[in-house]
Amino acid sequence: RVLPEWSQAPAEKLKIIEVADLANVPTLEKKEFEDYHTFFCCLGSRVKKGKKEFRDVDYQFPLDFAALGRDCGVKHYSVISSQGAKKSSWFLYMKTKGEMEEDLKKMNLPYLSIFRPGMITGRNNDKRFTDKLAGFVKATCIASNVSTAKIAECMLNDTLTYHLKPNNPENVRIFTN
């Protein structure tokens, strides 16, 4: 879905890719994406939607999108994961995010940025109980809070840094808050 906030981005800097079914990403025409430098993946679902949908959105689709970028010559892939992501976790959410991170690293992308925010606040398009709770209780003992705007700012700054210094020997960077 396209969010109203995205209309503020300059069209020459940001191309919004709309796909009716994200399971079709591997079949997209690669030539449409060959002149792009960075792919951003900010997908996320909820476990309560069902394990299959959650796994598709939080694991498979980010990998498919990264493979599309790699195959099109995109040099930088930036993805949102989660604080506490660990493939050996007993919790489905953390385990899935950890597996996604590990499998992205195995893809040998030219430059991979992984963002591990704590509790994400300010989702105007997707109100969640935890957002309301975070307003009343400081959850610093579990996870720190970070706004969607701050995550976007960090992702943009990382991208600009990469493009200013494309020969950085670090090809995987992990950011936490």
Question: Which residues are identified as catalytic?
Answer: 93, 97
Comparing CA positions, the residue from 87, 157, 74, 56 lying closest to residue 115 is: 157
Please give the sequence-ordered ranges of beta strands (E in DSSP) within the chain, or none if there are none. 38-41, 76-80, 111-116, 119-121, 145-147, 172-176
The residue whose two tokens read 């506490």 is: 84
Distance (Å, rounded) from C-alpha 158 to C-alpha 66? 17
